[in-house]
Amino acid sequence: METLMLAGDVMLGRGVREALHEMEPAEPWGDTLPSLLDASVRIVNLECAVTTHLTQWHEAPKVFHFRASPEAIPALRAARIDACSLANNHSLDFEEEGLLDTLRYLDEAGIAHAGAGRNREEATAPAILPHGIGLVACTDNEPLFAAGGDRPGTAFLPVSLEPSVLAKVEERIAAAREAGASTVVFSNHWGPNMVERPPALFRRFARAVIERGADIYFGHSAHLTQGVEIYRGKPILFDTGDFLDDYAVDPILRNDRSCLFRIGLEEGVPVSLDLLPVHLGFATTNLARDDEREAILARMEALSAELGTRLERRDGALIWRSDQARSG
């Protein structure tokens, strides 16, 4: 069985950028590193530009601008990150030049990417990863970041059930299949921050994506892990939360409590899902323990049950197994 590891937002700028000056590349991942390295393929949402360009995006008001230095690349390589989704609201925080630098640094490091590019065609193209995994990425954030015919930017796609939008979803999933993907991961940086539950429209949209051929829905943006839904035997991860950052912690919503999402694949088909609780510190992440782990397990168990998904507890994790996996 192949294993795919998904982690949510990885922000390597600001305080993390400064901390990396004093850290070994593997240190930010803490004791989650063995779990990451044990997977067959690893994908994260890279929520920053990797650049030395210092001019911030100024075409419209923006509160936060996240810039990682090139030192971020060895950190990504230390965790053997195979691919980054770049379809988000921070890829152009340091203008088009910052995005172009990000693409160049990732390409030089052999780290695949999807969801942003030098033009619309490149931004919407899938990334094909080892073991036949294809990554399609889009975002409904920052419409002004959208790539054009000859303009660098992101793969902007509104959350909508309009036929024109769903046709684009279907085209991009089909493109990944045509490029050789046996498993298609649909990554989406969508919706508002600090929301615990997906709106009804988001649930319908995610199901429509699965109906159009995706095998795994990989959502992020809320900074909080949301419940998991299994639809037609395919996992919908509405939001995978934060994974590595320097963010202030909300004392009620606790955005420092998150998960690693490990998906088992047999012949390209998802047959298992494990949620491994993690706790985020400043510029580092570790496996959650004791009361922290219990709080994460209880929260994700309850939120997933609201979506009709029963997760079992085993060895400090929450698990789902398909009938195929159980019988095997």
The domain spans of the chain are: 2-325
State the chain's mean pLDDT as an integer. Answer: 97
**Per-residue model confidence as pLDDT tens digits over 156-191:** 999 999 999 999 999 999 999 999 999 999 999 999
pTM of the model: 0.97
Once rounded to an integer, what is the mean pLDDT over residues 274-296? Answer: 98
pLDDT at position 328, please?
35
Average pLDDT over residues 199-203: 98
In whole angstroms, how far apart are CA 197 and each of 17, 52, 226, 251?
31, 37, 6, 18
Reported confidence tier of residue 60, pLDDT bands at 50, 70, 90 = confident
What confidence score (pLDDT) does residue 28 get? 98
What is the Cα–Cα distance from 47 to 196, expressed in whole angstroms?
A: 20
Contacts of 3 (CB under 8 A, 6+ apart): 38, 39, 40, 41, 262, 263, 264, 265
pLDDT, residue 327, reads: 35
Rounded distance, CA 230 to CA 57, Å? 39
Length of the chain equals: 328
Q: What angle do CA 73, 183, 128 make, to 5 degrees?
A: 40
2-325, superfamily in CATH? Metallo-dependent phosphatases (3.60.21.10)
Taking only the tens place, the pLDDT of each residue in 214-262 is 999 999 999 999 999 999 999 999 999 999 999 999 999 999 999 999 9
pLDDT tier at 323 (50, 70, 90 boundaries)? Answer: confident
> pLDDT (tens digit, 9 = 90+) per residue, 85-98?
999 999 999 999 99
Distance CA 27, CA 317 (A): 23
